[in-house]
Amino acid sequence: MEVTAQGMPYEAFKDNEYIESLVKELQENGTNVVVGSLDKLINWGRSNSLWPLTFATSCCGIEFVSLGAARYDMARFGWEVARSSPRQADFMMVAGTIVHRMAPVLRRLYDQMAEPKYVIAAGACAVSGGPFRNSYHVVKGVDQIIPVDVYLPGCPPRPEAMIYSIMQLSRKVKVERFFGGVNRQQKQQEFLREHPVEGVDDAAQFNAESVECHGK
């Protein structure tokens, strides 16, 4: 197989007519060409292999567990690799009531997840506190602790609704810019600074990340 590399002027990268003529010339010579952005290729892979970390405290967690059985078979979407380690997960499925004593644990697990990371708040309790909202010990929604990407109402939401919520997250991942664009991590750090949790030292983590980035 013969491989030919052809140079391209820098100013021509934004010239669609030049790129179209180049692709047409290659195709006429019998070369198969697929044109696209690296962002789309990476996000296609990421959106079809979202690995969940389940933080379940009540009945909504049981509904999510049922997705792994044959009736709903979340493996057909590429979500079957449920991780018990936050460092290997792409998104966290928070399902159930979160009390104030549990808030530092949830924040630490979120901090330990690798970028890019996402959160789904599943069920009324995770979204807003649910029927226990006015209790003194209940957090009125996990978005008081960590940033949430998808809200899924219900008490509890059905497994079909949970599949739909992850599909919505998958659509969000597909349209993101993996290279450049808005700095998602910076937004997350701003959120965490604005929502401090007792017992969690976010400042130390931010400083460590800054040192690591400068070191690289």
Structure-block tokens of residue 78: 């590429």
pLDDT confidence band for 148 (50 / 70 / 90): very high
Percent of the chain's residues with pLDDT above 70 = 75
Domain count, the chain: 1
Cα–Cα dist 31/4, whole Å: 10
- pLDDT exceeds 50 at position 210: no
pLDDT in tens, 56-107: 888 888 888 888 888 888 888 888 877 778 888 889 999 988 899 888 999 9
Domain that holds residue 130: 49-198
Residue 110 inside a domain? The answer is yes
pLDDT confidence band for 6 (50 / 70 / 90): low
The model carries a pTM of 0.71
Cα–Cα dist 196/198, whole Å: 7
Residue 216 inside a domain? The answer is no
Provide the pLDDT for residue 21.
Answer: 76
Highest mean pLDDT among 104-108, 179-183, 189-193: 104-108
Is the C-alpha dihedral spanning 154, 157, 158, 159 positive or negative?
Answer: positive
Structure-block tokens of residue 21: 């003529």
Structure-block tokens of residue 85: 């380690």
Residue 12 inside a domain? The answer is no
Residue 107's domain is classified under what CATH number? 3.40.50.12280
Residue 40 inside a domain? The answer is no
Residue 32 inside a domain? The answer is no
- pLDDT exceeds 80 at position 48: yes
DSSP strands (E only) in the chain = 52-56, 91-95, 118-122, 150-152
